[in-house]
Amino acid sequence: MNLTRKLETTLLLIVLVLSLGPLVWGQPLEETPQEKEARMQWWSEARFGMFIHWGLYALPARHEWVKNRERMTDEEYQPYFEHFNPDLYNPTEWARAAKIAGMKYVVLTTKHHEGFCLWDSKYTDYKSTNTPYGKDLLKPFVEAFRDEGIRIGFYHSLIDWHHPEYPVDRVHPMRDSKEFREQEKDRDVRKYAEYLHSQVRELMTDFGKVDYFFPDYSFPGEDGKGRDDWQSEKLIQMVRELQPEIVVNDRLDLLDKPWGWDFRTPEQFMPRGWVTMDGERVPWETCQTFSGSWGYHRDEATWKSSRQLIEMLIEVVSKGGNLLLNVGPTGRGTFDSRALDRLSAIGDWMRLHGRSIYGSTAAPDDLQKPDNCLLTFNPTEKRLYVHVLEWPMGVLHLDGLAGRVKYAQLLNDASEVRMRGRHGAWMRDTDEEGRNTLTLYLPVTKPDVEIPVIELFLE
């Protein structure tokens, strides 16, 4: 072999090792903060996603925890499997509704705690293909949402109230039955974990690119389950190997590992401010329901109004977070009218005001929000968005902003908002307390939108 041939072979070997290495040895779980930020960029900019809780519990229509709450046996729950037939299921309609509402990603329950699977898994019979419906629900779902340009997320329950090897614990429907616990005491959580891992592998392999993963949830301690039961480290390692760009929630009980979670997930309440850990601001996403139930609930009446939901979205972004807003489709496979009403109202607002949401975050700390307002800020564009919750009489004063704003307009119609730093002795640039107040002169009539937004172009 001459020298050039030798060199060529060595080079080829190096290239091979570099490109195949990670596949053979596993992707390293370590990454720099910059790499992590880049991986999460689409998610941080998206700000608004749709959660979908769908399963057999749509039939009893009284909360997705019905099996647990009513302590049902498998036999008692079986009629829902035998009658599951969402004949009107058309994921393209769902994807359009999400798109029109302004949602940039979707997260669907591939399996909830009840154990029922929406796809044709090799590892179970408890799946949609064996119901009267007879078909896989997940493939068409993924295609429909991708076609609308919406990123794909899978929620997958760690908990399983149907699997025969899942040991009974404090949140299991059979928790109070001594006989059942005694009879089932030999269930082996390792066998269950194997099932869990195999299914997650299917989900991460058979559906193309998965952008987002929401395993749910850990409850370590007495009669509970946590990382050792799920074998969380191995699970997340596999997920990151199969989908290197995926973002993952914080429910695997791996909060002490930097690679064990990407964002925190406070649910069903509004955090006071940007969510922190050990004093540091961290990425966060709150998931919220329209009405208090995640699964379709026919009789639940505490539906939030469209206005409340829009305000919620703004408030979340003003605190640096994402909102994942849930729909519980019916047993026929449709979004009910209450959900559709709200999605379309949010969409009407988002069409005109999306600019204050996407790519925006909390305003710089030195800016105080005026009364009845919420601020968001787009750092790339250097624009500040003032969301005016109660339309004021004629003027709005913004402390600390005098001299820092080039131009101001209403976002809904791009009409100029005139600014002046001075209005006689009454409204001064710098008042006695040195607040550097900018005064905006607003129309008397509130613009005809749910929540008006003023866009300020900063110097």
User: Residue 392: enclosing H or E segment and its boundaries?
Assistant: none
CB 411 within 8 A of CB 355: yes
DSSP designation for 291: S
Nearer to ligand GLC, 174 or 451 (CB): 174
Site for ligand GLC in 195-254 (CB under 6 A): 216-217
Nearer to ligand GLC, 105 or 385 (CB): 105
Which value, to the nearest 10 degrees, does the dihedral of the CA atoms of residues 303, 449, 318, 418 take? -160
Nearer to ligand GLC, 113 or 383 (CB): 113
C-alpha pair distances (Å), 365 with each of 274, 377, 400, 457: 11, 11, 11, 18
Report the alpha-carbon angle 116-291-128, nearest 5. Answer: 15
Binding letters toward ligand GLC, positions 34-53, x by CB under 6 A = -------------------x
Q: How far is the CB of 162 from ligand GLC (least distance, A)?
A: 15
Give the position of tokens 């600014």.
419
Q: Using the CB atoms, write b or e for 325-359: b if 16+ within 10 Å.
A: bbbbbbbebbbbeebbebbebbbbbbebbbbbbeb
Q: In whole angstroms, what is the distance from residue 321 CA to residue 208 CA? A: 27
Site for ligand GLC in 261-320 (CB under 6 A): 267, 287, 294
DSSP 243-258: STT-EE-S-SS-TTST
Number of shown-chain residues binding ligand GLC (CB under 6 A): 8
Two tokens at 121? Answer: 């898994």
Nearer to ligand GLC, 167 or 292 (CB): 292
Based on its alpha-carbon atoms, the radius of gyration of the chain, rounded to whole angstroms, reads: 26
Nearer to ligand GLC, 117 or 456 (CB): 117
Give the position of tokens 């509704």.
97
Nearer to ligand GLC, 136 or 267 (CB): 267
Q: How far is the CB of 268 from ligand GLC (least distance, A)?
A: 8
Nearer to ligand GLC, 196 or 411 (CB): 196
Q: How far is the CB of 22 from ligand GLC (least distance, A)?
A: 32
Nearer to ligand GLC, 157 or 439 (CB): 157
Give the position of tokens 């790339």.
380
133: Cβ–Cβ under 8 A, 6 or more apart, which residues? Answer: 84, 85, 86, 87, 89
User: Residue 419: enclosing H or E segment and its boundaries?
Assistant: strand 418-420
Q: In whole angstroms, what is the distance from residue 30 CA to residue 46 CA? A: 25
Q: How far is the CB of 159 from ligand GLC (least distance, A)?
A: 7
Q: How far is the CB of 251 from ligand GLC (least distance, A)?
A: 8
Nearer to ligand GLC, 53 or 151 (CB): 53
Nearer to ligand GLC, 216 or 229 (CB): 216
Nearer to ligand GLC, 218 or 231 (CB): 218
Q: In whole angstroms, what is the distance from residue 390 CA to residue 393 CA? A: 10
Cis amide linkage into residue 385, ω under 30° from 0: no
Q: How far is the CB of 83 from ligand GLC (least distance, A)?
A: 22
Q: How far is the CB of 121 from ligand GLC (least distance, A)?
A: 19
Site for ligand GLC in 58-97 (CB under 6 A): 64-65
Q: How far is the CB of 216 from ligand GLC (least distance, A)?
A: 5
Q: How far is the CB of 109 from ligand GLC (least distance, A)?
A: 7
Q: In whole angstroms, what is the distance from residue 90 CA to residue 333 CA? A: 7
Q: How far is the CB of 102 from ligand GLC (least distance, A)?
A: 21
Q: How far is the CB of 40 from ligand GLC (least distance, A)?
A: 19
CA atoms within 13 A on the CB side of 387: 28
Q: How far is the CB of 155 from ligand GLC (least distance, A)?
A: 7
- At 60, the amino acid letter reads P
Contact call for residue 98 and ligand GLC (CB under 6 A): no
Nearer to ligand GLC, 157 or 412 (CB): 157
Smallest CA-to-CA distance from 186 within 170, 207, 205, 164 is with 164
Neighbours of 121 (CB within 10 A): 22
Write out the residues near ligand GLC by the rule CB under 6 A.
Answer: 53, 64-65, 216-217, 267, 287, 294
